[in-house]
Amino acid sequence: MGSPSTAPWKELLLNSIHSNSHLGHSSYFQFATVASNGRPSNRTVVFRGFQDDSDKIQINTDSRTRKLDDLKRCSFAEICWYFTDSWEQFRINGKVDVIDGSNPDPLKLQQREKAWFASSIKSRLQYLGPTPGIPSVDEQPSQVPTLDPSTSPVGVFCLLVLDPDQVDYLNLKSNERVTYTAGHSAEGEKIWTWEKVNA
């Protein structure tokens, strides 16, 4: 058991990403929310990095997707990330901050813009398509959208920032499992404790 001020699991995760980086799927993970009917709702998303030097995980999404409705009702979500070469699994649970164009915080809007410009043009073009998840009525291929690379984020572009408070790390090669739990100091600073548990 320990209580370091920096997230002790973050270096483990960065090492796993690095050692599995030759695999295309190593930058994808599953992102589960709670749907309005109380059932779990899961999908695969792209890891967009940590926010600045923090342990907060960034995900880009379209504000028209169902996950946004889920997060409005319940702001908690869980990531499940499995690295096939190193046989490691990370389950990361926490609260999600939804940052869209109407956010009143100028710093958060700046973070959203930074995430937009960090994405490829191909990725940005997806936000110009029709509303995700509704019936497709156009049988003919529509006109291919174009985008000026210097254009600010489009209205439907949304940055999700998951602030972890529980991490479950499992290494199937060494049969090692460690749980990490976040608490807060008297000054409000996040402090992580960890404990080895049975795999």
Residue 182: what pLDDT? 96
Q: Judge whether residue 94 has pLDDT over 50.
A: yes
Q: Torsion over CA of 100, 102, 108 and 114, rounded to 10 degrees? A: 60
Spatial CA neighbour of 60 closest among 126, 144, 140: 126
Domain boundaries, the chain: 8-129+149-197
C-alpha span between 120 and 23 (Å, rounded): 19
The pTM assigned to this predicted structure is 0.90
Residue 135: what pLDDT? 83
Residue 3: what pLDDT? 40
Task: Kindly report, residue by residue over 122-181, the tens digit of the pLDDT.
Answer: 899 989 888 888 887 765 556 667 778 788 999 999 999 999 999 999 999 999 999 999
Calculate Rg over the CA atoms of the chain: 18
Residue 140: what pLDDT? 59
Residue 89: what residue type? Q
DSSP state of 20: T
User: 45 φ, ψ to 5°?
Assistant: -130, 170
Number of H helices, E strands in the chain: 4, 8
Residue 57's pLDDT band, with cuts at 50, 70 and 90, is very high
Cβ atoms 24, 47 nearer than 8 A: no
Task: Kindly report, residue by residue over 5-55, the tens digit of the pLDDT.
Answer: 579 999 999 999 999 999 989 999 999 999 999 999 999 999 999 999 899
C-alpha span between 42 and 70 (Å, rounded): 11
Residue 138: what pLDDT? 66
Residue 106: what pLDDT? 96
Residue 153: what pLDDT? 94
Residue 114: what pLDDT? 96
Residue 80's pLDDT band, with cuts at 50, 70 and 90, is very high
Half-sphere exposure (Cβ direction) of 14: Cα atoms closer than 13 Å:
12
Q: Which CATH code for domain 8-129+149-197?
A: 2.30.110.10
CA distance from start to end of the chain: 17
Mean pLDDT of 82-108: 96
Residue 54: what pLDDT? 94
